[in-house]
Amino acid sequence: MNRLRANGTARTRSILQLWPAVAAVALACCAVHAQQAAAFGPSNPFYAPSMLPFQAPPFDKIKDSDYQPAIDAGLAQQLKEAEAIANNPAPPTFQNTLVALEKSGQLLNRVQFVFNCVTGANTDDELEKVQAYEAPRFAANQDAIYLNSRLFARVKAIYDKRASLHLDPESLKLAEWYYQQFIKAGALLSDADKEKLKKINEEDATLSNDFMTRLLAATRDGAYFTTDVSALAGLNDAQLAAAAQAAQARSSATADKSAAAGKQPGWLIPLQNTTQQPDLSFLTNRDTRRAIFENSWNRTERSDTNDTRAIIARLAQLRAQKGALLGYPSFAAWNLTDQMAKTPETALHFVEALVPATTAGAASEAKDIQALIDAQHGGFTLAPWDWEFYTEQVRKAKYDLDESQEKSYFELNNVLQNGVFYAAHQLYGLTFKERHDLPVYQPDVRVFEVFDADSRPLALFYCDYFKRDNKNGGAWMDELVGQSKLLGTLPVVYNVANFEKPAPGQPALLSFDDVTTMFHEFGHALHGMFADTEYPSLSGPQVARDFVEFPSQFNEHWASYPEVFHHYARNYKTGEPMPADLVAKMNKAHAFDQRHNLTELLAAAELDLKWHTLPASAPLQDPDVFEKQALQKAGLWMAVVPPRYRSSYFLHIWANGYAAGYYAYLWTEMLDDNAFQWFEDHGGLTRANGDRFRRMVLSRGNTEDLETMYDTWLGGKPTIDPMLKFRGLKDDGSN
């Protein structure tokens, strides 16, 4: 989304001063929407399962006004179904308790899947109001189910006698999973403590939603706008045309036509959700680079309206209190109990073990950049807003390469069809057919039907790749319909990204980082498409946070695998493949910045863990002070390499479910690098390898212990060596 300049007053304002205003806004919003109950009946498109193929959502029939009544009805229905299970006079059995729970909440699932999709990728003011109103209600509904003592007693009764029930392995896993979920949710608490927990969960949900709303607005407002095209020197014609189109679209969306008509032309560069911004690689004007960077860095600290610091300080405090209430020293200690790492100490040790070599490498890269600046008589010291630009300069100097050379070989549709889909065909036998008969939620969205190797329909795949002001930053995968044999449903999955949309008539050219993002998110999509389980709660990507990124990061490797790369890396004008010398230069050039990139990730993971290992006794923290102290202590405070996400706009951990779990990207990198090494050792890109991986991992969801699943497939325990090799932190002997 977007950026601007720092507001000194907002930056120095006390967190305690801002907090009452935050709470007041949330409460007022709830009060307004509590009066807006609407009738729910057959005319609502969520009333019954969709009649479209794969039960795909009828987006052409769904209006903003349909969501709230459907959600409210779904919440009420789910609660009623749970109460009926809890109050069943018959003795608890696997069928009348756990299978019944798996079949419950189908109306809520229908609307929630779609609502999550549109509020993330195509939101508007009305949807944001509904989201703010419903967030605490979702939390309350979950508490009402998982803190129901009668329901827990039935779940526990099945769990206690599970060994004598002769359950199949997946059903046994479901019995264990439900018991664990109830325990983790607080089922063993006293009634008084359950009430405390409910209040914490409700406030957390409200604040997380408020954080997301403020961040979206702050990112939009932080866009860099100029009427002086010389400030954008270094951008090519296509980039300037895209910036002009973005400015025109913004003007049309925010002003009446008569007012917009009299305005002089302008150019707008929206922000993406990360600290560094793509256009910093090209802009020759240092003042412009600095303005864009500062807009990004200060996006949520520029005004009281969009300042998130009070929210995150309170969220950290609430989560620490939740951990203590549930009997743990911190939120992270509680939250990691069902993850592969198990404890925050293990996660922190893993992250911090990578710090010395990584930061030393980043410091070395910084020296190379500073040497170039000095050689050019720049007369200044390297700053964060210079890094991306001079990295490109170093690449040009050392490798005779700049990003614009490579982008001409990465046209989006060609990457999708001849890269992403091609790799999936070679590995798994999949084929794809675009469908134009299914409705979408925004014109840029495309839909593909996915067919298995035996030509049977497997899934639907939606992709939404271009940046919009009303779309959350970053890239992600989710489901519109989940797979389940019990429910008779096949998967409908989608990928969302924030690539720069080209001007009309121009090709969508990607950086190699964008290409890697496409492969990454499609790895998540494959995890959903290949799901082959009975129970929806164990299906597809419903796995531990520090495992869920494994399939996606593994799939990234195929982006640079020679057979796949040469199939899609073709000049968009001539169709010629990328020349071998350019491929070699690109591979070497991209290795140059690896330590910098890894330092950014380590800093973000460290911040997340430090926020979520605060004890309940800790006072409200000043995020800016806390952030600096945490990074300094870990040896990750580098003035020229800020974290990938500043605490105040760290969407993953404050609103997207990665609390105490951002380390998962690095943890699963270890898993995926070991996995790719296994593929290389066993013949690489073959159907036999792909089918084995699908059968033993991608199709299994959470139906067995994840560590055992992985080790069985790999044939042993993973080590950190392949990660160090692929990151360039360890010589593999090839140099």
Residue positions annotated with a catalytic role: 521
- Give the Cα-Cα-Cα angle 684, 686, 689 (nearest 5 degrees): 80
Provide the sign of the torsion angle of the four alpha carbons 282, 286, 291, 296, taken in this order: positive
Provide the sign of the torsion angle of the four alpha carbons 440, 446, 451, 455, taken in this order: positive
Structure tokens at 540: 């597809």
Measured between alpha carbons, how far is 282 from 405 in angstroms, rounded to an integer?
12
8 A C-beta contact, residue 676 and residue 723 = no
Radius of gyration, CA atoms only, the chain: 25
Classified as helix, coil or strand, 512 is: helix
Residue 508: name the closest of 466, 461, 470 by CA.
466
| Cα–Cα distances in angstroms (integers) from residue 352 to residues 344, 634, 670, in the given order | 12, 7, 14
8 A C-beta contact, residue 348 and residue 336 = no
DSSP letter (8 states) at residue 263: S
- In three state form, how does the secondary structure of 389-444 look? HHHHHHHHHHHCCCHHHHHCCCEHHHHHHHHHHHHHHHHHCCEEEEECCCCCCCCC
Residue 655, class by beta-carbon neighbours within 10 Å (0-12 exposed, 13-18 middle, 19+ buried)?
buried
Residue 52: name the closest of 60, 44, 63 by CA.
60
| Cα–Cα distances in angstroms (integers) from residue 192 to residues 142, 196, 323, in the given order | 17, 7, 16
| Cα–Cα distances in angstroms (integers) from residue 53 to residues 370, 506, 530, in the given order | 57, 33, 18
Residues sharing a CB contact under 8 Å with residue 24, sequence separation 6 or more, in sequence order: none
Measured between alpha carbons, how far is 608 from 603 in angstroms, rounded to an integer?
9
Residue 81: name the closest of 57, 106, 110, 44 by CA.
106
180-211: buried (b, 16+ CB within 10 Å) or exposed (e) per residue?
Answer: ebbbebbbebeeeebeebbebbbbbbbbbbbb
- Give the Cα-Cα-Cα angle 107, 109, 115 (nearest 5 degrees): 105
Residue 660, class by beta-carbon neighbours within 10 Å (0-12 exposed, 13-18 middle, 19+ buried)?
buried
Q: What are phi and psi of 276, to 5 degrees?
A: -75, 150
Residue 645, class by beta-carbon neighbours within 10 Å (0-12 exposed, 13-18 middle, 19+ buried)?
buried
| Cα–Cα distances in angstroms (integers) from residue 440 to residues 189, 446, 498, in the given order | 45, 8, 17
8 A C-beta contact, residue 612 and residue 332 = yes
8 A C-beta contact, residue 454 and residue 441 = no
